[in-house]
Amino acid sequence: MQTISIDTKNKHYNVYVGSHIYESVLTLYEKQLQKADHVVIFVDEVVAKLHLENLLRPLELISKKAVHVFKLPAGESSKAVETFMACHSFLLEVGCTRKTIAFALGGGASGDVVGFVASTFMRGIPFFQCPTTILAHDSAVGGKTAINHPQGKNMIGSFYQPDAVLFDVSTLSTLPPKEILSGMAEVIKHALISDHRWVEELFSFQTFYEISNDQYLSYLVKGIQVKAAIVEADEFEQSVRKYLNLGHTYGHAIEASTGYGKITHGESVAIGLVISLLLSEKVQSLQKGTARKLFDALCAFGYSFDPVLEHKIDTLIGYMKRDKKSSFGDLHFVLLEQIGQPCMEIVSVKEVLLAHEQLRKWSMEVHK
């Protein structure tokens, strides 16, 4: 098991990464769990069938109480305000108070909504993140919580750090291929903003199936370390934390246009990464050809660029102008001066249009 500690201004906590770690980690929190008046698990209904028992059993044993379970709809649909309110109703019906501890078991979506519930129930109760996807190596760390508004993803939320993150990588073996693609996009992003040798290592694979379990583990730990360092420096996203949004401005627009749940977050980010690199070559000093190299690698890994062909650029621009990093209707992008050196840049609509057209051409070539 590896432990990464995160020190923000308001909270110090650990991220534990390893296989079958629930029991040993929970033991470290025995006192806190026993002092709680209630312990509840919020779990994605699909994940519940696969992994709930593995968490529930040691948790009941160690906390010495019956643990209450609330099942969330699977995936992004759980991030609707209706689910958020249903979680609050459940907590009130159980009789929870500020001395209750909540667990989020599932992928990024359930972590986001449960984090927001924990941050707002009676103005905040402690909670533990137990991610079960590669994607959640990113979202479970750093304290961003959110639900979706019909007009935009993650528009309603808070910064609220968990008490700990328990990342049991043995749960990853049950991931469907789409979820592997989704999660690995964020790993590739972490590599792009931090370390060119790591990028080359990732590009050396022909498919993700070549990656061994040990390599996965090391990539996830590395990704979390990249994120931890950035969150420690800028918890509330006033400066460097924005770099973690590489690929997300265009990616979120693709995700919103396609419809949440129809395309995964990471698949959208993967597309956004290519746009960011195209823009970086044009308006920054990124070496020419890097975007194409990334595009080819992503195609080989199995990412689809069809959504680029399906949406009008005007629709996408509309979503991008509403991005959380934007202001005054400008388009704010994270770009790369070079691999490992991110920067923020205001980009003209015209430049985005050109990058979009370039990616359209490449995407059409794939179909020939």
Is 10 a known active-site residue?
A: no
Find out whether 173 is annotated in a ligand binding site. yes
Question: Which one, of 102, 99, 161, 108, lies nearest residue 136 by Cα?
Answer: 108
Shortest distance (Å) from residue 99 CB to its own copies: 4
Per annotation, catalytic residue among 76, 235, 237, 255: 237
Per annotation, catalytic residue among 68, 71, 79, 265: 265
Stretch that binds its own copies, among 144-152, 200-208, 219-227, 337-345 (CB under 8 A): 144-152
Per annotation, catalytic residue among 123, 350, 361, 367: 123
Is 248 a known active-site residue?
A: yes
Is residue 66 close enough to count as binding its own copies by CB under 8 A? no
Is 227 a known active-site residue?
A: yes
Question: 252 near 272, Cβ under 8 Å?
Answer: yes
Find out whether 171 is annotated in a ligand binding site. yes
Query: How far apart are the C-alpha atoms of 86 and 68, rounded to whole Å?
Result: 14
By three-state DSSP, how is residue 206 classified? Answer: coil
Is 9 a known active-site residue?
A: no
Is residue 9 close enough to count as binding its own copies by CB under 8 A? yes
Residue list 23-62, contact with its own copies (CB under 8 A): 37
Which backbone phi and psi does 234 adopt, to 5 degrees?
Answer: -160, 75
Among all chains, which residue has been given the structure tokens 């400066």?
239
Find out whether 191 is annotated in a ligand binding site. no
Question: 292 near 305, Cβ under 8 Å?
Answer: no
Shortest distance (Å) from residue 218 CB to its own copies: 31
Residue list 114-133, contact with its own copies (CB under 8 A): 119-124
Is 186 a known active-site residue?
A: yes
Question: Which one, of 125, 103, 112, lies nearest residue 51 by Cα?
Answer: 103
Shortest distance (Å) from residue 39 CB to its own copies: 13
What DSSP line would sit under 265-311, residue for residue? Answer: HHHHHHHHHHHHHHHHHHHS-PPTTHHHHHHHHHHHHT---HHHHHS
Query: How far apart are the C-alpha atoms of 59 and 41, rounded to whole Å?
Result: 10
Which structure tokens are listed for 197?
A: 């040798």
Shortest distance (Å) from residue 152 CB to its own copies: 6
Angle made by CA atoms 52, 160, 192, in degrees to the nearest 5:
85
Residues 6+ apart with CB under 8 A from 367: none
Is residue 239 close enough to count as binding its own copies by CB under 8 A? no
Is 189 a known active-site residue?
A: no
Is 154 a known active-site residue?
A: no
Is 351 a known active-site residue?
A: no
Exposure class string for 338-365: b at 16+ Cβ within 10 A, else e: ebebbeebebeeebbeebbebbeebbee
Query: How far apart are the C-alpha atoms of 366 and 368, rounded to whole Å?
Result: 6
Is residue 329 close enough to count as binding its own copies by CB under 8 A? yes
Stretch that binds its own copies, among 16-24, 107-115, 302-310, 319-327 (CB under 8 A): 319-327
Per annotation, catalytic residue among 68, 189, 252, 332: 252
Per annotation, catalytic residue among 68, 137, 248, 356: 248
151-158, Cβ contacts within 8 angstroms, sequence gap of 24 or more? 151/322, 152/256, 152/319, 152/322, 153/252, 153/255, 153/256, 153/260, 154/79, 154/112, 154/324, 155/324, 156/81, 156/116, 157/112, 157/116, 158/115, 158/116, 158/119, 158/120
Name the residue nearer to its own copies (CB basis): 123 or 361. Answer: 123
Name the residue nearer to its own copies (CB basis): 10 or 215. Answer: 10
Residue list 78-107, contact with its own copies (CB under 8 A): 81, 85, 88-89, 92-93, 95, 97-99
Binds its own copies (CB under 8 A): choice among 19, 24, 327, 338: 327
Binds its own copies (CB under 8 A): choice among 321, 340, 345, 360: 321
Question: 72 near 42, Cβ under 8 Å?
Answer: yes
Binding-site residues for NAD(+):
108-112, 132-133, 144, 153, 171-174
The binding site consists of: 108-112, 132-133, 144, 153, 171-174, 186, 248, 265
> Which residues have a catalytic role annotated?
123, 144, 186, 227, 237, 241, 245, 248, 252, 265
Residues of the binding site for Zn(2+): 186, 248, 265
* Contacts to its own copies by CB under 8 A: 9-10, 37, 81, 85, 88-89, 92-93, 95, 97-99, 119-124, 144, 146, 149-152, 155-159, 236-237, 321-322, 324-329
